[in-house]
Amino acid sequence: MAKIQARNVDDALFARIEQSAMKNERSLEGEIRLALARQYPAGTTSPEILSSRQQWQKECGGRLRALFDRLSADGFFPGAGQPGPTRIADQVRIAHRLHVSPGLLLDCIDGAGELTRELAERIESRFGASADWLTTGDGKMFPLVILGTYFGASWEEFFFPDDDERYVFEFIRIAGGRHDGTLMILRQHEQNGRITAGVVTEAFSLVPVWGRGYVNLKEFLLFLRQHGGNLVMNAYVFSPGAGF
Is 158 found in the same domain as 112?
no
CB atoms closer than 10 angstroms to residue 162: 5
CATH number at residue 71: 1.10.260.40
- Do 150 and 100 have their domain in common? no
Full domain range(s) for residue 111: 50-134
Query: Residue 95: inside a domain, yes or no?
Result: yes
Residues of the chain with pLDDT under 70: 1, 43-46, 78-84, 206, 208-211, 242-244
Are 165 and 86 members of one domain? Answer: no
Q: Given this model, what pLDDT does residue 45 score?
A: 64
Q: State the DSSP code for 21.
A: H
* Domain stops at, among 134, 162, 192: 134
The Cα–Cα gap between 145 and 133 comes to 15
pLDDT value of position 22: 82
Q: Is the pTM of this model over 0.85?
A: no
DSSP secondary structure letters along 114-178: ---HHHHHHHHHHH---HHHHHH--S-SSPEEEBSSSSSB-HHHHHS-SSS--EEEEEEEE-SST
Q: Do 232 and 152 share a structural domain?
A: yes
Counted domains in the chain: 2
DSSP assignment string, 173-213: EE-SSTTTT-EEEEEEETTT--EEEEEE-GGG---STTSHH
Whether the Cβ atoms of residue 178 and residue 244 lie closer than 8 Å to each other: yes
**Rg value, the chain, Cα:** 30
Same domain, 225 and 148: yes
